[in-house]
Structure 1
């Protein structure tokens, strides 16, 4: 735990008592603050009370004595409308922030030069976060991984010279972290997502940019420049005086990292200074993972690791669950769990990595559906549609072979049978839904676990 000493003696309100909210309450209390907590869920309130935290309906407290409101990232800050707790805080001149902001303030107060890598981007941030953590662990560092990847940042060990904090940051979390100041800041990409929470793509991109714009003096900003928003961010970061590393999977770069066929090049002043391949790393299949590897390489290089140590560690990266996760094989048929692909842009990465695909798609659709994936339809042998989006996706697929399976269990059975019966060279049954899961599953993790369980229960399966 990281005791938050910067609010010692003050009263702090906390709204949202999930995992990060409860960790925030504990960290503030450990640092000497009085905490008043609330949640709209009786079950969450009960958990907070069982942990010994004071609870009170924030609609009926005296806000004149409140130093700050710590908001859970899932609670609306601006769009479609500020949550009522935000309105009350602002009406009383109380700052609204999140748990990562508390971490940043504590780090500045106690260990301002301790290694802190912050990662954002519409896609790839979890893999990049985990890959950086893996490299640091393999090279004898003590990485502390948290944030949006699942562990509340205030549950980690405190900032110190011997601890490297590697923190995945969603746009919701950055919005609540006005003074974010990593030693290494990464923005991988910006594509349309979460527009219901940010209003427009430009506003969404502006939130993402705060992470790299806030890099502390002497630090490094790392940006994927394959979209116009991140390209502009890189130019602004450089003009602001930050050491800026550009990465691209599409075009050459003069200073940074780019692709030459299957090789990754480290460029300086237009010259190749390092060349390496990650082809032997099964968990880093696909050009999108080349971008993740470039970002991880640049981050670890900025932290002082050698080229050989970084590449050696990359090749042993096991990957993440639900992200291009190779689950098992039945004969030649490979089963891949990419449940984390909750939008078309993310699903594109998986479809681009395979050539004989039996695709399971569908759920609660995002804006644009699967129309942006049309150029990949020729490599899809057949599509098995599930969930709320099935009828609309069937119309988009048109004459391309597909069936409305309805549920995941039926889709897996149908896809497995077809993949085994047909003569594809490298058949892959791929769950990459291009949709949120909420129509049939609580979240993408539960959906991916269900897929994994279905596959591993099939006769003759060999776990990968």
Structure 2
């Protein structure tokens, strides 16, 4: 835990008592603050009481003595309308911050030289975060990983010299962190997302930009420039005098990291030095993962990690569960769990990474369905359709891709495994990349992916990766 000493002797309101909210309560209390905890859920309030915290309905108390409102990222700060606690705090002149802001204050106060790597982007940030943490550990650093990727930031060990914090940040968390100042800030990409919480794509992009714009004076901003939003952000950072490393997997760059074949190439100074080779690294297949790997490589190079350590670390990276996760081999067939592919854009990245695909798709459909994936249909040998979207997907595939309506995941896995084995192909892939939410049959994509993994590992003769 990271004791938050910056509010010692003061009273702080905390709204939202999920994992990060309760962690904030514990950290503030450990640092000497008095905490008043609140949540719309009576169960969460009761849990806070059991943990020893004072709770109150913040509608009924005076805000005059509060030094700050610590807001959980899931609560609206601006759109579609500010939460009532935000309005109350503003009326009382109380600052509204999040748990990452508390971390940043503690780091600045006690260990300003401790390396802090912050990662954001619409897509790819979890893989990039996990990969950076893996590479930093392989390089021998004391490494703490958390934030949006799982462990609440204040539940990690405190910043200190030589300890590296690798923190994934959502746009909501950035919005609640007025001053970030990471050693290395990474912005992978910006595509339309969370507009309901930010109002416009312009505001969403501006929030993302704050993470890289805030890198400390001697720090490094790493920006993927394959979309217009980020390309312009990188230009603005340059003009502001920041050290910028551009990343592209789609276009040549005069200066920055690009992909040439399977190599990550540094084009600085007009050269083309090889940074690392991604050949035969199954956990980093596809251009989207090449971007993640390039960004991670730039980040650890900024910490002084050598090329050999970087290369070995990339090769030993196991990948993240449910994101192009290699589950097992049955004969020549590879089984891949990409349950996180919950929309067409995400599924496109998986489909572009393989040929001879036996594709398991379906669930609770997103707007647009799978029609945008038509360019990848020639890669699909057969589709196995499940869930509510099965009939709609069948109509899209009709006459283009052989398919069956499997209805359930267990039927789809069994039939896809059989068909792949009988196809006589050199390297068939049974791919779960549903292009759908899971909520019709599973509570979340993790449970769906876990079920796929269990079904695959139960197949006779399977060899776990």
Q: How would you bin the TM-score normalised by the shorter chain?
A: over 0.9
Task: Report the CA distance between 1:275 and its aligned residue.
Answer: 4.8
Contact 2:275 2:307 in 1 (8 A): no
Once the two structures are overlaid, the 10-residue window that deviates more, 27-36 or 278-287, is: 278-287
Contact 1:267/1:274 (<8 A) preserved: no
Greater CA drift, 90-99 or 392-401: 392-401
1:52 aligns with 2:76: no
Question: Can you list the C-alpha shifts for 1:189-247, whole angstroms capped at 9, x where unaligned?
Answer: 11222222222222221111111111111100001111111111110111111100001
TM-score, reference length from structure 1: 0.96
CA distance in 2, matches of 1:393, 1:219: 47
- 8 Å Cα contact 2:117/2:167 also seen in 1: yes
Maintained 8 Å contact 1:144/1:156: yes
Specify the alignment match of 1:427 in structure 2.
428
User: Could you tell me which residue of structure 2 aligns to residue 112 of structure 1?
Assistant: 112
Q: Give 1:204-283 correspondences, 5 Å limit.
A: 204-283=204-283
Deviation by residue 1:261-301 (Cα, 9 ceiling, x = unmatched): 22211121221233531213221122211111111111011
Unaligned runs of 5+ in 2: none
Cα distance change on mapping 1:13 and 1:404 into 2, 3 Å: farther
Q: Distance in 2 between matches of 1:387 and 1:60?
A: 46
Q: Mean alpha-carbon deviation: is it higher for 274-283 or for 146-155?
A: 274-283
Report the TM-score, using the length of structure 2 for normalisation: 0.96
Q: 1:231 to 1:360 in 2, by over 3 A?
A: same
Alignment correspondent of 2:447: 446
In the TM superposition, residue 164 of structure 1 has moved relative to its aligned partner by: 0.4
CA offset digits 1:13-41 (Å, max 9, x no partner): 11111111111110010111111112222
Q: Does 1:89 align with 2:86?
A: no
The answer to which of 326-335 and 266-275 deviates more is 266-275
Shift of the 413–138 alpha-carbon distance from structure 1 to 2, 3 Å rule, reads: same
Cα distance per residue 1:393-423 (max 9 Å; x no partner): 3333342323333332232223223222323
Alpha-carbon spacing, 1:381–1:280, altered in 2? closer, same or farther (3 Å)? closer
CA distance in structure 2 between the aligned counterparts of 1:404 and 1:92, rounded to whole angstroms:
58
Matching of residue 405 in structure 1 with residue 406 in structure 2: yes
Unaligned runs of 5+ in 1: none
Shift of 1:9: 1.3
Matches within 5 A, 1:270-419: 270-399=270-399, 400-419=401-420
Paired residues in the alignment total: 464
- Aligned 1:56-67 pairs, distance under 5 A: 56-67=56-67
The CA distance in 1 between the partners of 2:398 and 2:203, in whole Å, is: 35
Once residues 82 and 392 of structure 1 are traced to their aligned partners in structure 2, the CA distance between those partners, rounded to angstroms, is 38
Contact (CA 8 Å) 1:285, 1:353: kept in 2 or not?
A: yes
1:146 and 1:168 in contact (8 A); partners too? yes
Shift of residue 372 of structure 1?
Answer: 2.4
Q: Conserved in 2, the CA contact under 8 Å of 1:184 and 1:220? A: yes
The CA distance in 2 between the partners of 1:372 and 1:211, in whole Å, is 31
Which sits farther off after the overlay, 281-290 or 348-357? 281-290
Per the alignment, do residues 328 and 299 of structure 1 end up closer, same or farther by CA in structure 2, a change over 3 Å counting?
same
Provide the rounded CA distance (Å) in 1 between the counterparts of 2:429 and 2:54: 52
Going from structure 1 to structure 2, the CA distance change for 1:411 and 1:147 (only over 3 Å counts) comes to same
Could you report, residue by residue, the CA deviation over 1:30-64 in whole angstroms, capped at 9, with x for unpaired residues?
11111111222233223222211111122222112
CA contact (8 A) 1:253 1:270 kept: no
